[in-house]
Amino acid sequence: MFWSLASMVLHGRLCGRVERCQIIYLKALIKLLLFGQGFFCLGESVGIIEPFILCRFILYAEQEGLIMDMNFFYSIKHQRITDIKIKRSVFICTMKYVESIDEAKTFISTIAKENHTATHNCWAYIVGEKGDIFHSSDAGEPSDTAGKPMLNILQRHGMTNVAAVVTRHFGGVKLGVRGLIDAYSESVSRTIELKKLRKLVQTIQVCVEVSYEFNDTLQNLIKNFIVGVQKTDYSDKIVHIFEFEDKNFKKLDKLFSEYQSRGFLKFSVIE
């Protein structure tokens, strides 16, 4: 399986959702790469990994969010839901982007009310620029078997500004302490893995007024720095409201100032 997966990555044929077993192989490979190993040992298989294959794996892993820059925090953009069934119990994880404790509590309360007939609605949230505000609840499950494992998974993925509720419908078979920890962890992990996580960055908004003639040139100059375009108005001039990462603005300020002095554009920082 490993080499067939490697071959698909090498030839650019791997696309869509990766099976969980394949993700495990990728993560194992990445761990080896971090320690500078040129070989792998999975089970009883041992082999040499060609540098070109390593590069393709790294690129693929970055695109799929399997390698994250831990200098940043991550969250999700849109609410996402998954469900899994373990020994007749159904675990439904609902996850949402939130920016404050109040938003997190409102979301948790809403999900709990929508699922008031469920056996448990366990939850965890993390907020704050540095992910330093967090809380969790087992909601009636044995102590530290639900809320804390959920929180641990969120933290391991470097997440903040996120809330998760796992709704459990009991199926009649007890899972035990270890089983519960694994089930709640798995439920949150699968929800995180639905889509690539969104990197959270400090941004600044800049209003730029530019002529139609210079607009394409401007776009090419700044395309690698744009986080988003909040608004664009067209009249006798084009007025953009761009969003850039704070760390890049020093370079952009110099560029904008140069072209403003030459009469090609006007710009101002939106406070």
pLDDT in tens, 54-73: 555 555 555 555 555 556 78
Print the SS3 string covering 47-94: EECCHHHHHHHHHHHHHCCCCCCCCCEEECCCCEEEEEEECCEEEEEE
Confidence of residue 256 (pLDDT cuts 50, 70, 90): very high
What does each C-alpha distance from 75 to 185, 204, 264 come to in angstroms?
17, 19, 38
CA pair distance 154, 96, nearest whole angstrom = 12
Where is the domain boundary, 153, 178, 199?
Answer: 199
150 has a pLDDT exceeding 90: yes
Statement: residue 94 has pLDDT above 90: yes
Tell whether 253 and 186 lie within a shared domain: no
- Judge contact between 169 and 89, C-beta under 8 A: yes
Collapsing DSSP to helix, strand or coil, 161 comes out as: coil
Q: Reply yes or no on whether the pLDDT at 186 is more than 70.
A: yes
**Bridging pattern class, strands 39-42 and 45-48:** antiparallel
Q: Is the pTM of this model over 0.75?
A: no
Domain total of the chain = 3
- 191-204 exposure pattern, b = at least 16 Cβ within 10 A, e = fewer: bbbeebbbbbeebb
| Confidence band for 8, pLDDT divided at 50, 70 and 90 | very low
What confidence score (pLDDT) does residue 2 get?
Answer: 43
Mean pLDDT of 209-214: 96
For residue 260, is it within any domain? yes
Confidence at residue 51, expressed as pLDDT on a 0 to 100 scale = 53
Q: CB atoms < 10 A from the CB of 138, how many? A: 20
- Within 8 A by CB and 6+ apart from 20, the residues are none
Q: What is the pLDDT of residue 156?
A: 92
Domain CATH number, residue 178? 3.30.230.30
Computed from CA positions of residues 17, 21, 22, 28, in that sequence, does the dihedral angle turn out positive or negative? positive
Say what the pLDDT of residue 141 is. 97
Joined together, the tokens standing for residue 193 give 């893995």
Of 42, 14, 47, 44, nearest to 28 by C-alpha is 42
Same domain, 261 and 153: no
Determine how many CB atoms are found less than 10 A away from the CB of residue 219: 14
Please indicate, yes or no, whether residues 100 and 170 belong to a single structural domain of this protein: yes
Q: Indicate whether 152 pLDDT > 60.
A: yes
pLDDT for residue 35 is more than 90:
no
pLDDT above 70 covers what percent of the chain?
A: 74
Mean residue pLDDT of the chain comes to 82
How far is it, in rounded angstroms, from Cα 2 to Cα 12? 15
Residue type, 8: M
86 lies in the same domain as 177: yes
Q: Tell me if residue 1 falls in helix, strand or coil.
A: coil
- Look at residue 209 in the predicted model and tell me its pLDDT: 96
pLDDT of the residue at 11? 40
pLDDT for position 271: 80
Q: Give the end of a domain, one of 161, 182, 199.
A: 199
